[in-house]
Amino acid sequence: MSISRRAYLSVATLAASSMAVAKTSGAYGLEYVTSGLGLTQSDSKSWQVLASDLEVITVTDTSVAFTWATYAPGVQTAYGFIKPTVPSDERVLLGPADSTQLELVHEGYSESGYHHVVIDGLEPGREYRFECWSHNCRAVPSLNITMSKTAPEKTGVVSTLPALEGAHLATFALTNDTHIGKPNHDGIRIGNLGLSSGPGEQPFASMQLQGLVDTVKAAGLDTLVINGDCTDSNRPEEYDELIRVLDTFGEFGKNWFVTRGNHDVHPPGLPNINGFRGRGIRKGKTAVPDYFSQRLVPTQQHWSTRVGEVRLIGVDTAEFGYAGGRINERQMRALRAELADDPERPTILFAHHPFTQDAVRSHFGGEAFMVEAQQAKIFQEILAATPGAKGVFAGHTHRSRRGIADYGDTDFCERGAALGYPGGYTQIRVHTDGYQISYHRTTTPQSLAWSTKTRWSMFGLEPEFMLGKISDRNYVNFFKNKVPL
């Protein structure tokens, strides 16, 4: 029996003391769910469904995406063992918040019982009232984070992001924590329990990455950054699969880029490097093959590229024998020189581990889980002295959370994982006066079904940690000084 450290820390951050397992599930008809109660198919058709788990997952300046699930009547959410969804119709009503009328803007049907609806053509910076319905039941939120007093899921009012007025410079996609080769999503290995792929199904981590690649391509984007923990346990076959899938997106170093995460420096096949394993690696008693360097990017070496007028920099914060982050002196000097060579250039940086004390204080893993404090300080001071350094994006925690810099005004943000719930990517659209951040779910049927399943990860507690507030997932960062063209 084992439970991954990351899964434990995620739930512990929520002060949840108990660990739980979840069984796999798909969508079932109402007649299947209610047959155990002695009800006929005609009886079940007269039942209402429960429309729950409402989330306003994406907001841009012109669009909003709603998701919810339909369950059999009487199902209890938000926590517990996984609950089967049931198919149902779907309707979205929407109108300006200052209007008394809501219009039907979407009508459809979901065989899976998982509903994902995107509404386009909205006005920037405007409030809209909305209602999502299935089988005459209005969808309601179920997680604490979506039931707060100011959450749009609770208020029924959502605001589109303000428009950026400056010239468009670049748009690209970002994701992290693909964990190719991972056997169980929730890190639980107790017999056959835990969230994993079913017999004969494509391994879920590969399925999620392929679905994400297809979704990003369909969105018209041609640049994708994978920000660490590309593999689950640093095995050659995991790199083979990672590269195979990403090559369907384009060319490495031109269309797709990677940074190294702590899982990419594990002893091959081992689930973690806690305790004696990490000490043995640090003392040189345990050798770890460096497949990442052989196949992708050399150890402790940053990369830099241009997308349009924007510079992207990938930083290697992974160090053999550590779960937390490290940047050695050679890489720090190279980063300083890179930024000093063109300090006004609008620059977005990517590193697997978070840097700020805000991240340390808000995560149960604490300082040992983040970039080493002194190195994080030096890194932030370099960025604070670089006018073009606009944002730093991290993975590692699998959560969506916008943080606060310790030095300067660079934007620091952690982004949700590709691996499972909520399952998707971040779109970064850069203009001369700021950038827009928006989180988008992977929309292939297989991925949406997996999101439905992994919503019950760690007894339904983990989503409270992963989802983040709507302002963590979607926001506009206005630059203090407009980028000169």
Looking at the structure of the chain, the number of domains it has is: 2
> Which residue bears the tokens 């329990």?
193
User: Using 50, 70 and 90 to split pLDDT, how confident is the model at 33?
Assistant: very low
* Residue 265 backbone phi and psi in degrees, to 5: -125, 20
Question: Which of 113, 133, 159 is the endpoint of a domain?
Answer: 159
Task: Say if residue 429 is in the same domain as residue 292.
Answer: yes
| Residues of the domain holding 178 | 168-478
Q: What is the pLDDT of residue 15?
A: 39
Residue at 35 is within a domain: no
User: Using 50, 70 and 90 to split pLDDT, how confident is the model at 27?
Assistant: low
Residue at 6 is within a domain: no
User: Using 50, 70 and 90 to split pLDDT, how confident is the model at 135?
Assistant: very high
Measured distance CA(409)–CA(120) in Å, rounded = 32
Question: Which of 109, 127, 159 is the endpoint of a domain?
Answer: 159
Q: What is the pLDDT of residue 345?
A: 97
Measured distance CA(10)–CA(17) in Å, rounded = 11
- What are 204-226's pLDDT values in tens digits? 999 999 999 999 999 999 999 99
Please report, for the domain that includes residue 145, its CATH number: 2.60.40.10
Residue at 258 is within a domain: yes
pLDDT value at 24 more than 60: no
39-66 average pLDDT score: 80
Burial class for 393, CB neighbours closer than 10 Å (0-12, 13-18, 19+) = buried
Residue with more model confidence, 382 or 7 = 382
For residue 422, cis peptide bond before it (omega within 30 degrees of 0)? yes
- What are 159-205's pLDDT values in tens digits? 999 999 999 999 999 999 999 999 988 765 555 456 888 888 899 99
pLDDT value at 42 more than 50: no
Q: What is the pLDDT of residue 105?
A: 99
159: closest CA among 132, 130, 125? Answer: 125
Residue at 221 is within a domain: yes
Task: Say if residue 109 is in the same domain as residue 189.
Answer: no
User: Using 50, 70 and 90 to split pLDDT, how confident is the model at 117?
Assistant: very high
Task: Say if residue 152 is in the same domain as residue 174.
Answer: no
Residue at 314 is within a domain: yes
Task: Say if residue 400 is in the same domain as residue 455.
Answer: yes
Residue at 445 is within a domain: yes
Task: Say if residue 355 is in the same domain as residue 412.
Answer: yes
**What is the 8-class DSSP label of residue 482?**
P
Is the CA virtual torsion 73, 74, 76, 80 positive or negative?
negative
262: closest CA among 328, 183, 320, 331? Answer: 320
Task: Say if residue 325 is in the same domain as residue 431.
Answer: yes
Please report, for the domain that includes residue 335, its CATH number: 3.60.21.10
- What are 359-371's pLDDT values in tens digits? 999 998 899 899 9
Question: Which of 113, 140, 159 is the endpoint of a domain?
Answer: 159
468-473 average pLDDT score: 98
* β-bridge pairing 88-96 and 2-3: unpaired
78-90 average pLDDT score: 92
pLDDT value at 436 more than 80: yes
Task: Say if residue 179 is in the same domain as residue 155.
Answer: no
Measured distance CA(261)–CA(264) in Å, rounded = 5
Task: Say if residue 178 is in the same domain as residue 207.
Answer: yes
Residue at 38 is within a domain: no
Task: Say if residue 187 is in the same domain as residue 306.
Answer: yes
Residues 193-212 as b/e (b if ≥16 CB within 10 A, e otherwise) read bbbbbeeeeeebbbbbbbbb
Task: Say if residue 155 is in the same domain as residue 176.
Answer: no
Rounded to two decimals, the pTM is 0.90
Tokens of 90: 């779907």
Percent of the chain having pLDDT more than 90? 75
Q: What is the pLDDT of residue 283?
A: 62
Q: Name 402's bridge partners.
A: 413
296-319 average pLDDT score: 98
Task: Say if residue 149 is in the same domain as residue 120.
Answer: yes
Percent of the chain having pLDDT more than 70? 86
Check if the beta carbon of residue 274 is closer than 8 Å to that of residue 262. no
Residue at 272 is within a domain: yes
Task: Say if residue 271 is in the same domain as residue 395.
Answer: yes
